[in-house]
Structure 1
Amino acid sequence: MVIEALERQTLELLAERGRPRDFKKGTQIFRHGERGTSLLIVETGRAEVSITTATGQKSILGLVGAGDVIGDIACLDGGPRSADVVALEPVTGLEVARRDVLQILKEDGDSAILVIVALCQKARNASEMFELKALASGRSRLASCILRLLKDQNGDASADRVQVSQSWLGAYAGLTRENVNRQLRIWARDGIARFEKGAVVITNLNALEDIALNDGD
């Protein structure tokens, strides 16, 4: 759920009832399995959303940043958190208790509908990501993940870089760091993308989009 999905009036009501929170880099904001008693409106900073399998393997689900709301699913149904959320850098936000969120949505039917639409989109995105990791080739998967990160961070894929490490990108795409590094070196040679100063820099967006649509290696 993103802040833009809610009416300004509803956001103001949430903000009025919110408690300012600050999280240092590396702090666990939400823990998988814990009961959802609140949500967090992110104001500044970025955080990582992930799950860890029974064998200890971490799978990164995505990044959240300013303008995102996290912890919304567990907050709305009162169930356990579906993922871990850890601050990748200092994060500030407003924490809103579940009782306040539910009360506001009860009083504002339009905002309740918008929240439902936003949650459906979140479920759709998760399904698409699962399908991508299950079916696409490593090369295509990496390209698709870079494009998804570009869109998430800018609202579209018009920017030319995404600020992530190769290890993080590998965990997000379901690849090893070595595979990510090898593919980025090939793309750098071909003038498609390169890794520079902690970021993937896209130099040929059309070519990257073509690779994302092609499942072949």
Structure 2
Amino acid sequence: MTAGAAEPGGCLPESGADEPPVSPFLTAPPSAVTARIGELGPARHYARREYVYRQGELSARFHLVVSGRVRIHLHRPDGTERTLAYAEAGATLGEAACVDGRPRHLASVCTQPSTIVSVTRDALLDAARSDPELLLEITRRIAYKQRVMQLHVLIEGLPARERVILLLGHLVEAYGEVALDTTTRLSIRPAVDELALLVGLTRVTMSRELSRLVAEGLVQKEGRSIVVRDLPDLRRRVHAVLA
């Protein structure tokens, strides 16, 4: 996924009024403070499938993604996993456990080679004495993630079709390349499995619901590419789910 991605050369973008909305299925988008957070700790390179942290761990650190992609997920008591969000360049993860000192309630694993800065609680507090906006930004990001969790609670109570409609709406906001304001192609090419994980469905169910939307003329599939053929109709459907 590319929303909030690093600019060419690996520099983190600053937030501005012209930035597109970011899907709630991504962790908090970068802001003007992002680059300053990145200066508070050392960077480390992670391999694909390497964990940044595991559920249940104690840590006084949080992390900033400089490049790459990290999947945030929950291990359930029955042994299953639920993907909650993805962290990309400019996003932070693990802030809550860093601040409150309690065990991490989620796990995070790299889905591609990633460069990640690790920041200690003490480093954050020391820097915040002269730059209070740092603490405000971390608070904003924690609040954003509460909204993500609320969205997942809402989705759990919805039928599969409505979950897919909401997901498409959020993906269009984050990755839609609009043409004539009626049609949009997603700039990403997500696997069906990945889409299913985001909204708590099986691959078979996600594939079935996408096929139905194709038959209805709302969506067009070209391999892994997704084209929404009728943006006004999708927006009406999203509004109907949320109403």
For the criterion TM > 0.5, the same-fold answer is yes
In 1: Cα distance, 2:53 partner to 2:172 partner: 24
- Is 1:140–1:214's contact at 8 Å kept on the other side of the alignment? no
| Counterpart contact for 1:140–1:213, Cα < 8 Å | no
Instruction: Pick one of 91, 94, 99 that aligns with 1:71.
Output: 94
Q: 2:185 aligns with which of 160, 165, 180?
A: 160
Give 1:113-152 correspondences, 5 Å limit: 113-134=136-157, 136-151=158-173
- Aligned position for 1:211: 237
Instruction: Judge conservation of contact 2:152–2:199 (CA < 8 Å) in 1.
Output: no
Percent identity at matched positions?
A: 21
Deviation at 1:150, TM superposition (A): 4.3
- TM-score of the pair, normalised by structure 2: 0.75
Counterpart of 2:103 (choices 62, 69, 80) is: 80
Q: Is the 8 A contact 1:160 1:201 kept in 2?
A: yes
CA distance in 2, matches of 1:199, 1:48: 21
**Residues 193, 200 of structure 1: 8 Å contact kept:** yes
Deviation per residue, 1:126-158 (Å, 9 max, x gap): 112211222x2211111212333444x45x896
Amino acid at match of 1:211: R
Q: Which amino acid aligns with 1:141?
A: R
Give the unaligned 5+ runs of structure 1. none
| 1:40–1:196 distance in 2 versus 1, CA, 3 Å | farther
User: Are 1:3 and 2:25 matched, yes or no?
Assistant: no
Output the amino acid matched with 1:138.
A
CA distance in structure 1 between the aligned counterparts of 2:170 and 2:70, rounded to whole angstroms:
16
Question: 1:174–1:67: structure 2 CA closer, same or farther, 3 Å change rule?
Answer: same
Matched AA of 1:148: H
Q: Could you tell me how far apart the structure 1 residues matched to 2:142 and 2:68 are?
A: 22
- The residue identity in structure 1 corresponding to 2:77 is A
Aligned length: 208
**Contact 2:56/2:103, CA 8 A, preserved across alignment:** yes
Closer/same/farther in 2, CA of residues 110 and 19 from structure 1, 3 Å limit: closer
Which of the numbers 197, 204, 208 marks the counterpart of 1:178? 204
Q: How far apart in 2 are the matches of 1:101 and 1:198?
A: 41
Q: Secondary structure at the match of 2:112?
A: coil
CA displacement, residues 84-129 of structure 1 (integer Å, 9 cap, x when unaligned): 1111111112111221112223433233233323322221221122
In terms of mean alpha carbon deviation, does 94-103 or 104-113 score higher?
A: 104-113
Verify the 8 A CA contact 1:59 1:172 in the aligned structure 2.
yes
Equivalent residue in structure 2 for 1:31, among 48, 54, 61: 54
Unaligned runs of 5+ in 2: 1-27, 179-183
Output the aligned Cα RMSD: 2.3
Q: Does 1:110 align with 2:133?
A: yes
